[in-house]
Amino acid sequence: MSWKEAAEPVLTRLPAVKRPTGHVPFKRKLGWTAGVLVLYFFLTNVPIYGLPEAGGSDIFGQFRSILGGAQGSLLQVGIGPIVTASIVLQLLGGADLLGLDTEENPRDQALYQGLQKTLVIIMTALTAAPMVFAGFLTPSPRIAGQIGISTTALAWLMFLQIFIGGMLILYMDEIISKWGVGSGIGLFIIAGVSQRLIGGFLSWSGVGTYIGFFPQWYRILTGSVEMASPLTIAGLSDLFLGPGRLLGLVTTLFIFVVVVYAESVRIEIPLSHARVKGARGRFPVKLIYASVLPMILVRALQANVQFLGRILYSQSPEGASAIVLFGERLPWLGQYTTPGGGGGFATPTGGLFYYVAPIYSPEDWMWWLGQTAAEPWQIMIRVGIDLTFMIVGGAIFAVFWVETTGMGPNATAKQIQNSGMQIPGFRQSPGVTEKVLERYIPQVTVIGGALVGLLAVMANMLGTVGQVTGTGLLLTVSITYKLYEEIAEEQLMEMHPMMRQMFG
């Protein structure tokens, strides 16, 4: 008995959102999308019962803008388990270890979806457990006493709430994918980053000492904030990196322009209908052909590595500045510092976990600003590892994404064939069309994935407006552009129903 036969009774019986049997009108899709988005914002504001008012340290740290959710809420885990499960399936599928034909075999498609859902359930439990039982979300003794249970029982209750929140994220994503517009993962990233970006521009009080860009400049112009003369080096530093924060504004605008331009760069392969004379079209192979979603997988892989480091450090004796395992101090593995005042998260300052940590802001690598204690050579090693990981990882995951989502030359050639189209001057055959597509799709996929990785690192290094990472902004702009294209396509299909039949 193969693994498919053994697992099929379980994988195909998992609760699932029913797929629509016919065409879903565009207005209804918008309704489902808006409803899920409102529910998402509502759940991010529902605190975990049993958590002290001080909250706890966010184990995801700077990755929160990418992984969605909110610290201390029911959606504590965000989209992390979904993305981690996708990473595992991408790697297994890319190595052809699953033996599933997800392009043409409906049975294998159902098994793949069931396997993904099972992995998400497992990853949600594995992500929620360390948050509660490793000291990141400590149960309140006062609340435990009020309801007459032990703090251990309250910790299990908190774990159950976080797990239910992870399941809600899973099924909200499934609702969007089947009944809405776009994908739930992309929608949740847009929601979280947009909220932070608007706060970064307009927030008057902000978080801690941070206030919005425009209120900050109001204070500068009214003399509430003093800056050095812009004719001096110190003044330029204040203008771009200090109170003025102009570098963040320039980077934000630059990312918007570059991503929109990159989305419009494409190679268009001409097509003609085999039976309808004069019916012509074009198949666009975009520069960012695999979209930016594979970049979520790369950053999530980095987040999981840092997640592991913070878990190991949390088990070290209190006051230790490095990871301690089995009574032995291991500074080469990771050295950490925790900000005072509570609510902060441990930040790697040395060791392996420091070198593999991504660059978050200009202060992480501009040593002359005095914001980092690392030596210049250490910073350069960290920047080099981050660049290599993002560029190579972006290209690899882009290839896996194209092959496992039906965007490869073989699957695309069959789609063109089924629509009745062909490439002018070539025989109408999937094999011939595939050979033509192989000239463009693999190369563009690798180049686009590497380019997105490079842009993500550059954006993080230069910083952006608000508490938004460069990667988060890059993902938001690209996903929003894709969403705009999908909405335009849906409206076109509503106006011309025959096009829906032609393109499936």
> Tens of pLDDT along 347-398?
888 899 999 998 888 888 888 877 787 888 999 999 999 999 999 999 998 8
> Tens of pLDDT along 393-426?
999 988 888 887 778 888 888 888 777 777 887 7
The secondary element (H helix, E strand) that includes residue 323 is: strand 322-325
- Kindly indicate the confidence band of residue 206, based on its pLDDT and cuts at 50, 70 and 90: low
In this predicted structure, the answer to whether residue 193 has a pLDDT above a threshold of 80 is yes
Q: In this predicted structure, what is the pLDDT of residue 406?
A: 76
Q: In this predicted structure, what is the pLDDT of residue 34?
A: 93
> Tens of pLDDT along 235-258?
788 888 878 788 888 988 988 898
Domain boundary pick from 181, 210, 228: 181
Q: In this predicted structure, what is the pLDDT of residue 49?
A: 92
Residues 498 and 369 occupy one common structural domain: yes
**How many structural domains is the chain composed of?**
2
In this predicted structure, the answer to whether residue 344 has a pLDDT above a threshold of 70 is no
Each residue of 176-186: b (16+ CB within 10 Å) or e? Answer: beebbbbbbbb
Q: In this predicted structure, what is the pLDDT of residue 171?
A: 93
For the chain, what is the radius of gyration of the CA atoms?
A: 25
Percent of the chain with pLDDT over 90: 18
- Kindly indicate the confidence band of residue 208, based on its pLDDT and cuts at 50, 70 and 90: very low
Task: State phi, psi for 384 to the nearest 5 degrees.
Answer: -65, -40
Q: Could you tell me if residue 316 is inside a domain? A: yes
Residues 277 and 426 occupy one common structural domain: yes
Q: In this predicted structure, what is the pLDDT of residue 55?
A: 58
Closest by CA to 137, choosing from 118, 105, 162, is 162
Residues 469 and 321 occupy one common structural domain: yes
In this predicted structure, the answer to whether residue 109 has a pLDDT above a threshold of 90 is no
Question: What is the rounded average pLDDT of the residues 2-13?
Answer: 78
Host domain of residue 62: 26-181
What's the chain's average pLDDT? Answer: 83
Give the separation between CA 189 and CA 176, rounded to whole angstroms: 13
> Tens of pLDDT along 455-482?
889 888 888 887 787 788 888 888 888 8
Domain boundary pick from 129, 155, 181: 181
Q: In this predicted structure, what is the pLDDT of residue 102?
A: 65
Q: Could you tell me if residue 17 is inside a domain? A: no
Domain boundary pick from 137, 161, 181: 181
Give the separation between CA 175 and CA 167, rounded to whole angstroms: 12
In this predicted structure, the answer to whether residue 296 has a pLDDT above a threshold of 90 is no
Residues 153 and 260 occupy one common structural domain: no
Q: Could you tell me if residue 68 is inside a domain? A: yes
Domain containing residue 475: CATH number: 1.10.3370.10
Residues 165 and 251 occupy one common structural domain: no
In this predicted structure, the answer to whether residue 326 has a pLDDT above a threshold of 60 is yes
Residues 355 and 461 occupy one common structural domain: yes
- Kindly indicate the confidence band of residue 280, based on its pLDDT and cuts at 50, 70 and 90: confident
In this predicted structure, the answer to whether residue 340 has a pLDDT above a threshold of 70 is no
Cβ neighbours of 5 (radius 10 Å): 8
Q: In this predicted structure, what is the pLDDT of residue 15?
A: 86
Closest by CA to 406, choosing from 7, 186, 108, 120, is 108
In this predicted structure, the answer to whether residue 342 has a pLDDT above a threshold of 50 is no
Question: What is the rounded average pLDDT of the residues 184-203?
Answer: 86
Say which amino acid occupies 338.
T
Q: In this predicted structure, what is the pLDDT of residue 341?
A: 44
Q: Could you tell me if residue 230 is inside a domain? A: no
Q: Could you tell me if residue 206 is inside a domain? A: no
Question: Helix %, strand %, coil % for the chain, to 5?
Answer: 60, 5, 35
Q: In this predicted structure, what is the pLDDT of residue 389?
A: 92
In this predicted structure, the answer to whether residue 343 has a pLDDT above a threshold of 50 is no
Model confidence, pTM: 0.81
Q: In this predicted structure, what is the pLDDT of residue 277?
A: 65
Give the separation between CA 424 and CA 222, rounded to whole angstroms: 66
Q: Could you tell me if residue 20 is inside a domain? A: no
